[in-house]
Amino acid sequence: MRILFATDGSEGSDIALDLLLALPHRPTDQFDVVSVPVHHYIGGAIEGTGAYVAELVDAEYATAQRAAADAAVRMKARGIDARTLVVEGLAPDAIIAAAKRLRSDLIVVGTRGLGRIASALLGSTARALARHSPVPVLVVRERREAPRRILVATDGSPDACTAIAAIAAMPIPDRAEVTLLNVVPEGKARTWPAGPLGDELRAVAEREERSAALEVLRSAAEQLPAHVSMRLEIDRGSAADRLIAFAGAMGADLIVLGSRGTTLSNGFLQGSTADRVLSGAHCAVLVARTPAPAERPTPDEEFVAATAG
């Protein structure tokens, strides 16, 4: 697996790196460290400020180089050789472009949010990556250890299958506890006839829903590695609410889900199940979607980036 670690040198990035280093890495895993300079532009033309602005830009670039290099040093101490890159542009766009051209399988990013208030939980870069990246994104919060209790949501949609493939490819600890959850939506209220006939029709409908959910769960279970323990669960209600509640009840270290499910509206992620889980979950979240053909890198693409020392 090729993993891109995006860092800005913040405490949130340090926490994400701790978790990344705690994973049981394999000889075949590859790592890249990417940092994006944050430039503070001065409006208007002021005589004699050209040299100062150039120095400021150089200092901002050096800060990004230092963040990438510091992460690489920590990786080296764990026996991991990582390529370090500084890329220019808006942070989410630059990181996504780097991931596409490096053919990354996963982006790992931290978040500055430390509280339980939704608006404070997720930094703008992490949220934008989760919303728009064609590469799966692991958003790390407070936990620095490798996840051992993992909640995987699946509804059988292409994006859910992509998310399951991502967690299956990740280096996760042996005997990790994986709970596969299918949340059956409430749907439209049904009117059943009174009496035994209505009871039987309701029971038949519930059996059909449960059978379909179990088929989705069993199919997902077949994609996961044999060294994890698995449990299949079916719940009913609002997907986001049930996922967050279920994760809290089981003490999940990681929630895995697709960014668009079969029950979502046309709006991409904004206000969706994935967005609400990202805002409300207490733990790390891995979000994935199936990239459109236009989002996949072509063989002749060249990646131009500065090497950060």
pLDDT per residue as tens digits for the range 121-169:
346 788 889 888 999 999 998 889 999 999 999 999 999 999 999 999 9
Q: pTM for this structure?
A: 0.84
**CA dist., res. 288 & res. 130, Å (int):** 8
186 against 122, higher pLDDT: 186
Work out the percent of the chain whose per-residue pLDDT is above 90: 56
The domains of the chain are located at 2-307
**99 membership: H or E segment, kind and range:** helix 91-102
Examine the pLDDT at 240 and tell me if it is beyond 80: yes
DSSP code at position 101: H
29 against 269, higher pLDDT: 29
**213 membership: H or E segment, kind and range:** helix 196-221
* Segment 34-46, tens digit of pLDDT: 999 987 665 544 5
Class of domain 2-307: alpha beta
Question: Residue 3's pLDDT is what?
Answer: 97
For the chain, what is the mean pLDDT?
83
Distances (CA, A) of 234 to 53, 90, 120, 181, 183: 58, 41, 31, 6, 6
- State the maximum Cα–Cα separation within the chain, in Å, rounded to a whole number: 88
* Segment 92-104, tens digit of pLDDT: 999 999 999 999 9
